[in-house]
Amino acid sequence: MSAVATPVSPMLVRLAAEKATGALLRDHGTLYLVDGRVVHAESPAAPGVDVLLTTGGRLPRENWDEAVDRAGAHRAVGRFLVDSGRLQDGELEICHLGAVFDAAFFALSPTSGPTRFRYGVGHWFGTVRPVSAEAVERETVRRRELLDAVWPYPAVDTAPVVPRPAAPGQTTGARQRALLAAADGERTPAELARLLGRPAFHTLLDVRRLAAAGLVETPLTPDPVPPAPALLPVLPVPDPDIALLRRLRDALEAHL
């Protein structure tokens, strides 16, 4: 995997090389592999393909439930949706790939817990379009870098989204306006993603962009614990760049 200098998941790299089939279980989600390629992913932090299809309005909920009832035991839910005329091949592929990369982003997030692999385990949705482990890792890294480039404050990813008044003349796009309208100060980005039927990563990206624009509050990080006093008094010297930027930001926000 030359495209990713340091693997996001060394075990995923090894399983891909082994062409393993089964489920890779991590703290924040699960990746399903067939012959070393990722065929499905799910995470509590990301809406599943069912939410993206039904809440998004493309598929009635009863059609989804029928597919699960009739084809879930055969691991062929996706195939049933196409064969029964509920979805076109291209529609299913695009939606499923979006759900896979979305869930994989969270499943492959840094973790302190154990990573396990259960050989031979499959997912009831079935295989739509396998993706290489290298592509999943590369996309995960790209998304992490993109979020930090937009607004390097990851606290907004899990905190309730609290809208702030717009400055005179400040505008947003339709997608961001819908997100702000649904933000009640209590829902987190993950909850908003499910409510709106949108991928969780894209919701995070919108929230970070809104935070960077001052339209969503950025949670304050706690001040570091001061070090123990030295034998001789030492005056604290804050980082001048960080202190200046914070004062400048606070001054600008006071006039918004």
Between 6 and 153, name the one with better pLDDT.
153
Mean of pLDDT over the chain? 88
- The reported pTM is 0.83
Could you read off the pLDDT of 149-196 as tens digits, one per residue? 999 999 999 999 999 999 999 999 999 999 999 999 999 999 999 999
Angle between helices 174-182 and 189-196 (to 10 degrees): 110
Amino acid sitting at position 146: L
Residue with tokens 């069912």: 50
Residue with tokens 């993603």: 193
Could you read off the pLDDT of 112-162 as tens digits, one per residue? 788 999 999 999 999 999 999 999 999 999 999 999 999 999 999 999 999
pLDDT in the model for residue 112: 72
Between 232 and 121, name the one with better pLDDT.
121
Angle between helices 10-18 and 133-150 (to 10 degrees): 160
Would you tell me how many other CB atoms lie within 10 Å of the CB of residue 138? 15
